[in-house]
Amino acid sequence: MSTSSPTPAIEVRGLRKSFGTLDVLKGIDCQVAHGEVVCVIGPSGSGKSTLLRCVNRLEDPTGGQVFVGGVEVTDPDVDIDAVRRRIGMVFQQFNLFPHLTVTENLTLPQRRVMGVDRARAQAVARSNLERVGLSDKAEVYPSQLSGGQQQRVAIARALVMQPDVMLFDEPTSALDPELVGDVLAVIRELVCDGMTMMVVTHEMSFARELADRVIFMDDGVIVEQGDPEHVIGAPRHERTRSFLARLLRPVKATVSR
């Protein structure tokens, strides 16, 4: 649940991003309050992932401004490494180092980026592995884990940096359906802890249950936004209704004879 603060956790003003002649973001304006959970939904190619990548400057915007905790991320003179330490990012793919154990994947960023000593880094790693329910996997390698377990390690790796905000880019899209629930349960716990989040997702039940606000994007613009019951349950715009109808349409089973 969001808390009142004069400075938003994330503020996006007139954000534009083009790849050559392709305009992916066409002037995005949005805010995320401290403690707020915002789910971003929309069809493939609508600009959702690009929006997240611009927030932490994995992509350089073509125009507009992005602020995180009042600091302009898009300022050419900003210390982008210092800003990124405040932003946790979890991707569709897990991006774990395959040659490192789970613990080493969690201690490396602490030691390299934050200068934490080995003992402290290992203690923080253990604490966050316990947080995501993987204390017993500390010394195994990523290849020995299921996809859902790897994604939970990726979440723990983001958490060891003690971020102010978390960005999730379709964190369950690469998982088999039976593994989705464990990852969503971890994110649900973070929501209960008051973590500020932007979550790009196609899990409508998750968005409806936990989001304070839902943003629907299509063709590089925000078509509508509001509380989940209105955007998902009773959308005002035809584009939103059409998207949800396609997404929620039951798949008919085919029987070969």
pLDDT band at 75 (very low <50, low <70, confident <90, very high): very high
Its pTM stands at 0.91
Least trusted range by pLDDT, from 54-63, 160-169, 208-217, 248-257:
248-257
Q: What residues have CB less than 8 Å from 43, skipping those under 6 apart?
A: 218, 243
- 143-153: pLDDT as tens digits: 999 999 999 99
- 225-252: pLDDT as tens digits: 999 999 999 999 999 999 999 887 654 5
Rounded CA separation 219/87 (Å): 26
Least trusted range by pLDDT, from 37-46, 72-81, 170-179:
170-179
What's the mean pLDDT in 91-98? Answer: 90
Q: What is the largest CA-CA distance in the chain?
A: 66
Rounded CA separation 86/164 (Å): 5
